[in-house]
Amino acid sequence: MIPVQGYDGRQVAVLGLGRSGLATARALAAGGATPVVWDDSPRGRDMAEAEGWDVRDLTRSGAFAGIAALIVSPGIPHLYPSPNPVIAAAWAAGVPVDNDIGLFFRSWATDDWDGFDSPPRVIAVTGSNGKSTTSALIHHILVENGRPAQLAGNIGRGVLDLDPAHDGEVVVLELSSYQTDLARHMTPDVAVLTNISPDHLDRHAGPGGYFAAKRRLFAEGGPDRAVIGVDENEGLYLANQLVDDLSDDRLIRVSVTRKLTDGWCVFARKGFLSEYRRGKQVGAIDLRDVKGLPGAHNHQNACAAYAAVRTLGIGPKGIEVALHSYPGLPHRSQLVAERGGVRFVNDSKATNVDAAAKALQAFPAIRWICGGLQKEGGLDGLIPHLGAVKTAYVIGREAEAFALQLPGIETVVCGTMDVAVARASADAQPGEVVLLAPACASFDQYDSFAARGDDFTALVLAGA
């Protein structure tokens, strides 16, 4: 646990009592603060009472008297589409609003660090797609190369559940736009932007607000090194703002669409990763046989992770060996089984059009399981990437409407996962891939993308 610094002897309110909220209350108490907690759901309040916390209705008038700060869980809207009433009350009372990411950065460094030979580092990863894989891959490379490391944030452990730092340790944080948008303190040593595509637009009032939330990690965080995916205009814009010219080694540009040779850059073309520095190639890796990272989208993740760990002095050979032992993450291009020459791949995390499009480009012949709760913008972005699809097996409550948006390919309206897996398995030929890449949220039928992926995996393994 990371005891929160700066609130000793003061009351701090916590709104939202899921995993991160309860961890925040514990970390505040460990640092000498007195947590005052609230959740809109009775279940959350019951859990807090069972731990002995002071549960106080923060929606009541005068609830913020004597409160030093309000710490908000990431799933709670603070501005768009409308502020949560508790957050609005904190603003009106002049109480600072923060989240657990802000508390982590203000509390991570301690006096113990004075005795370390090498100061701990923080690598923070954000972006629309690939940030989980990139974060896990960075952590894997570090561990495989003998560097002490912890993984937290939007993946794995909550940030305040981390162990206190060790000499030379690296913490890898996956940060969503919900987390970067509100944190009052962000000071990573290395910050990574994988890519940008439309997502969470209601929460950020459009693409500009979404990009602004991501940009805060770099513009306000002031990292020593920035790794920026430059295959979209937002990445190009951000990279252009961070340095005066490409000779500045504080910036590493990453691409999977073109060759880069100026400055410090890492790119992948036709399955080969290359690192250039000041016009000279200094590293290369053949990614084609790395089983845990199939497709160009995963090659982008590999480039971003490679660049991040290069800033810490890990050599290309050590990175290459680690890439080949990377097992992949559940629900992200996860190879579930191979049967009769047919591979079954779980990419349930492909919850938007851009992520699904990248998954569809990773394999040559696909039996595609798709559908669910559609996000804004429709499916037009998928149309150019359907060439490898033999048949689409559509699930979800609006399966028929989804199927009508897929011109030129055979569609089978299945409705439920069990029907889709059975039909796709029966139709698939050797050399083909049965791919779950829904391009939609899961909440019409499942509690989460993970529950959806688990259902697919269980059905595949049962031989449905």
What mean pLDDT do residues 348-366 have?
91
φ, ψ for residue 21, nearest 5 deg: -65, -45
**pLDDT score of 459:** 97
- Annotated ligand binding at 255? The verdict is no
Q: Which domains, from first to last, does the chain contain?
A: 11-98 (3.40.50.720), 109-324 (3.40.1190.10), 334-461 (3.90.190.20)
**pLDDT score of 70:** 98
Residues ≥6 apart with Cβ < 8 Å to 202: 80, 81, 376
- Annotated ligand binding at 133? The verdict is yes
**CA 332, CA 292: separation in Å to the nearest integer?**
10
Higher pLDDT, 328 or 89: 89
Whether residue 298 contacts residue 291, with contact meaning beta carbons closer than 8 Å, is answered with no
Listed residue (5, 373, 308, 292) closest to 171, CA to CA: 308
Q: What is this structure's pTM? A: 0.84
- Two tokens, residue 112: 């113990």
pLDDT one-digit tens code per residue, 369-404: 999 998 877 888 899 999 999 999 999 999 999 999
Give the DSSP H/E element, type plus range, for residue 98: strand 97-98
pLDDT one-digit tens code per residue, 15-62: 999 888 999 999 999 999 999 999 988 988 998 899 899 999 999 999
φ, ψ for residue 187, nearest 5 deg: -135, 60
- Annotated ligand binding at 457? The verdict is no
- Annotated ligand binding at 131? The verdict is yes
Average pLDDT, the chain: 94
Q: CA neighbours within 13 Å on the CB side: how many for 247?
A: 0
